[in-house]
Amino acid sequence: MNRIIFILSFVLLIAFYILWGQLGYHFGSILVFVGTVALIYFRRRYLGMRPYWAGSLSDIPKYFKLP
């Protein structure tokens, strides 16, 4: 998952949240939370990062560099 797909997926997730609210459905924030966690998981997996609990936080700057 490259950066553009990551950003587009996040924007699409926010658009679904807005649409979900306009249709009158509840629990849209849960959808956004779970979707954001999934996007971050796949982004970290794509960049080859270790889980949060398995190492230092020094790999976070990888989010701000081109893959």
Contact 50, 57 (CB under 8 A): no
Question: pLDDT tens for residues 14-58?
Answer: 898 888 888 887 777 788 888 888 888 888 777 776 665 665 666
Full-prediction pTM beyond 0.85?
A: no
pLDDT of 12 over the 60 cut: yes
| Count, residues in the chain | 67
Helix (H) or strand (E) holding 21: helix 3-22
Q: Give whole-number Cα distances, 53 to 41, 49, 57, in Å.
A: 13, 11, 9
